[in-house]
Structure 1
Amino acid sequence: MEIPRQLSILLTTLVMFVSYGVSDESNNVKVYPFQHHIDHFVFGVESNNATFIQRIYIDHTYRDGHPDEDGMPILVYLGGEANVKHCVAEGGGIMTMAASKFRALVVYIEHRFYGQSVPLGSIDTAMMDLYVRGCLTSHQALADAANAIRGLKSDWSLQSSRVIAFGGSYGGLLAAWFRIKYPNIIDGALASSAPVFDSEDLAPENEYCSIVSRDFKSESREASGSDKTLDILVSEIQPLQDLPRVTSPEIVQAQKRKREDDILAEEEGEKQPIPAQPLRSIRAAELASQAREGLDAGLATACQLRDAQAKDLKTSLKKSASNIIFSNGLLDPFSRASILEDISKTVVAITTKQG
């Protein structure tokens, strides 16, 4: 017998409510399952009744002894494209350091469609439903976070508490966007390695690879050749038993064969006879040269447009954003797409040269 979709969702919700908190909790960390609409932005239609349970961890290790329970700070970690339980287990970092100093409540919010925060009970089922799959967006994820914080502050009587969001990489983007889009919910954000220009296709091309190459060269002057770089990579990967074994000689041999094939192709090209119609060939070469010049001009125009759009984005941040810290380590290739200089007095950049 086929179970109606609405009943299936209800049964899934009940099962998830029962299962949360059984094995994920400790003395100081509790699971706070929060129910959301799958689609926050559609009203008055049947599909808006569909809900799912989002897994949220609340760590109150650091709040003991805070003089004002209602005014206690709330530090929120916005999970990215991963199971947030791993972040809870690892702990540490600047967020827990801040929590210890300010006796704050720490909250970890799992991103929809990841970990156990999956609509319809399983990721396979959710992905098969085209409408539900369309709800896997950052807009919906931010609405999840906003609703969850509202609910948490109400349930725990924390209406006067200030809220600061933390996140790294995609989670860093979410933290920055969260402060911009919901300034009534969140008071500030620390966005680490947040590739804001990548999200708008404004990041400089090839800069990611350039930073990776520079990192290798800074560690070893001998790591400038591709073969030697591969040797270093493989030597680092070898101890990790759960990763597939890839031996450097096999890769180097494949590259060597490719180089030999390229050289052979060039030599064959040089042996070709003089064309029967040299003038036509010369004209073709001229056209090809003009085409290359046109392509170079087009690329230059595209770069100018990209730079102008990046400037517009910074101007928009200056006008509409506040209380955001963009933190980046310059060894991180994602830093090339982030904010590396202060935008205003309250939208600031912190960079770590060896970070």
Structure 2
Amino acid sequence: MASIGIFQQKLVIDFSYWDGKNANVPILVCLGGEAPIEYWLDGIGIIDKAAPQFRALVVYIEHRFYGQSIPFGSLDNAFSSDEIRDCLTTEQALADFAEVIKFVKRNITKHDSPTIVIGGSYSGMLAAWFRLKYPHFAIGALASSAPIFSFEKLPIENEYCQIVARDFEEISKTCANNIFQSWNMIDYLASQPSGIDQLTKTFKSCSPINSSEELKAYLIRLYNFAAQYDGRFNTWTRYFCNKIGNRRNNDILEGISEAVSGLNSFPVCNQIAGNVSFAVDSESIQAWEFQLCSELVTPTSCSGNSMFQPQQFNMDLYVKNCRDKYHIEAHPNWISTYYGGQDIKSSLKNFGSNIIFSNGLRDPLSRAGVLSDISDTIVALTTKQGSHCLDMNLAKDDDPNWLKELRSKEIRIMSQWIKQSTSSKASIVSLNHSIKATITWLIRGRGLVWETLVRVKRGENGWTSSSALGNAPMGCKKGGVIDPFGINGRVSTREDEVISPEPETPSEKGEECYLRFVSKSAICFDPRLEKEGVEILREGVIVPDREGMGAVAEDVECSFFQRRARTGCAMWIMDDKSFV
């Protein structure tokens, strides 16, 4: 497919632990999923533990059509063209990741730096698929809670609701039984005159509930969410059961309503009616729903042997709804065709290596994951108490020992991959992008410095002085630099001199000289200085190597901002290159 446009794709590069351009220093790449990349930036447990141990560079890549990586600025604009919208695919997302990794290796690290891709849930599937499709870009993959067997009519389709029910039963059998009884209570009330009005009032809905099915669907999503993301200490299932477990008869619905209201920070009312989702933003919801229609078709049913009412998945209705909403045909078999589906175990065994599949067995999606070793190098790590992507959560001092041990096992395995990796050049293939990507860097971390190179010419009135420099003169003088910024200014007669963060005694060159300013923060020179004999030759970020030396990154716009981050200062660096 020919290129049909350019969009900005966001990545975050964390230099906090990086040991420089050393062939043995790895790159840990967090693959974005169905949310803005900021979702991951507060910390990923396994990365927080592995990066300092490996002295690794950490790269976070945002998924196309999410966050700030949406073509044409908004999803409405992108989805206004079927041709653009149809570029939201897993295939294209993997190609994006490959391009970004190639970009990082060309511009920051070494081309043969061992790279490990990491993801959770949907991005966990992407990590496993990336290792299969692009083994020359990554030596291994960690796929946390990756439900790669979720597609087509697989035998696990009834097990999701059964595991949800089991999680609640382990907290309180009375609680699970009360939830089971509540469905018939809701149906009965809805069938009575003014019954819907009574349900709207009982559950404090912000707008009238349309039907019992709407209310039940909302509650099912809450219970599923509670079980799937139950945390280290079963926080959410305990919360619900504390509200529901001791209720009797008609008081059961009041207990459920109290639990629902307690989830809101400002419980004036509950947003029950309408298409309600717990995603982070409306555009992410829309993009994810499109993916669920276009290729990520995941049948789910409930057989009735649980705390839920029986419910069968209707593929014909699912396909019709996708056609009505997005004017596309759902492709329930595509993932299985492209990545392997039920046969992916054979594909992994025959063609794959170096993949960790981690799963917590209290996660309802775990039954769609890899729960036993496929080979010596494709291993399954399971925890009986774990929930969804728990190893990806921010590591804390009070994490239970089984969670700490899980992360330790993952690090030991990844360490073996790094030791076994060779320095041979990867075979870089030419990728066929249907949308080019313009990279936006967010660089943060210790060890970065900002370098500005200027040429100063002596004017009729002597060396330049400007209010832009705080009314201080800037220029060359024997024995040093007049440095109005109070930083390590440096003067030299050679523009191509090797960069050093240390100042040294300058040499003079008649009526002009070159000055290098090296700082831990960005210096944005006022363009007006050009009229006063100051010519800005280059400004950019120095990426230091192990000896403290470095090379300036591509020429960049001088714009930066402060944000809350573990390492303090963050700078936007805009690279106006696009790659095919």
Q: TM-score range by the shorter chain?
A: 0.5 to 0.7
Confirm or deny: 8 A CA contact 1:197 1:203 kept in the other structure.
Answer: no
Residue type of the partner of 1:318? K
**334 and 100 in structure 1: CA distance in 2 versus 1, 3 angstrom threshold:** same
Confirm or deny: 8 A CA contact 2:65 2:75 kept in the other structure.
Answer: yes
Confirm or deny: 8 A CA contact 2:154 2:342 kept in the other structure.
Answer: no
Which whole-Å CA distance do the structure 2 matches of 1:73 and 1:345 have between them?
22
Shift of 1:326: 0.4
Confirm or deny: 8 A CA contact 1:77 1:108 kept in the other structure.
Answer: yes
Match of 1:95 in 2: 47
Match of 2:13 in 1: 58
3-state SS of paired residue (1:53): strand
Match of 1:327 in 2: 358
**130 and 340 in structure 1: CA distance in 2 versus 1, 3 angstrom threshold:** same
Confirm or deny: 8 A CA contact 1:234 1:246 kept in the other structure.
Answer: no
**128 and 203 in structure 1: CA distance in 2 versus 1, 3 angstrom threshold:** farther
Shift of 1:69: 3.0
Shift of 1:327: 0.4
Which whole-Å CA distance do the structure 2 matches of 1:333 and 1:325 have between them?
19
Residue type of the partner of 2:264? L
Which whole-Å CA distance do the structure 2 matches of 1:51 and 1:207 have between them?
42
Deviations 1:184-209 (A, max 9, x none): 01110000110101134425222100
TM-score by length of 1: 0.65
Which whole-Å CA distance do the structure 1 matches of 2:74 and 2:375 have between them?
44
* Match runs of 1:25-174 below 5 Å: 42-43=1-2, 48-63=3-18, 66=19, 69-88=22-41, 90-174=42-126
Which whole-Å CA distance do the structure 1 matches of 2:267 and 2:164 have between them?
21
Q: What 5-or-longer segments of structure 2 have no aligned partner?
A: 183-243, 246-252, 273-335, 387-580
Match of 2:264 in 1: 240
Confirm or deny: 8 A CA contact 2:26 2:55 kept in the other structure.
Answer: yes
* Match runs of 1:117-266 below 5 Å: 117-225=69-177, 226=179, 227=182, 228=244, 231=255, 234-235=258-259, 238-241=262-265, 245-246=269-270
Shift of 1:314: 1.4
Correspondence 1:312 to 2:343: yes
**92 and 244 in structure 1: CA distance in 2 versus 1, 3 angstrom threshold:** farther
Shift of 1:167: 0.5
Which whole-Å CA distance do the structure 2 matches of 1:234 and 1:93 have between them?
33
Shift of 1:312: 2.9
TM-score by length of 2: 0.40
3-state SS of paired residue (1:199): coil
Deviations 1:34-87 (A, max 9, x none): xxxxxxxx14xxxx1511110000011111xx3753432100111111011121
Identify which range, 180-189 or 197-206, moves more after superposition: 197-206
Shift of 1:320: 1.3
Residue type of the partner of 1:87? W
Residue type of the partner of 1:346? T
3-state SS of paired residue (1:198): coil
**203 and 129 in structure 1: CA distance in 2 versus 1, 3 angstrom threshold:** farther
Match of 1:281 in 2: none
**Identity of paired residues, percent?**
50
Which whole-Å CA distance do the structure 1 matches of 2:378 and 2:122 have between them?
18
Q: What 5-or-longer segments of structure 1 have no aligned partner?
A: 1-41, 249-305
**244 and 146 in structure 1: CA distance in 2 versus 1, 3 angstrom threshold:** farther
Q: Over alpha carbons, which structure has the higher Rg?
A: 2
Residue type of the partner of 1:131? E
Shift of 1:224: 2.2
RMSD: 2.5
Which whole-Å CA distance do the structure 1 matches of 2:90 and 2:267 have between them?
31
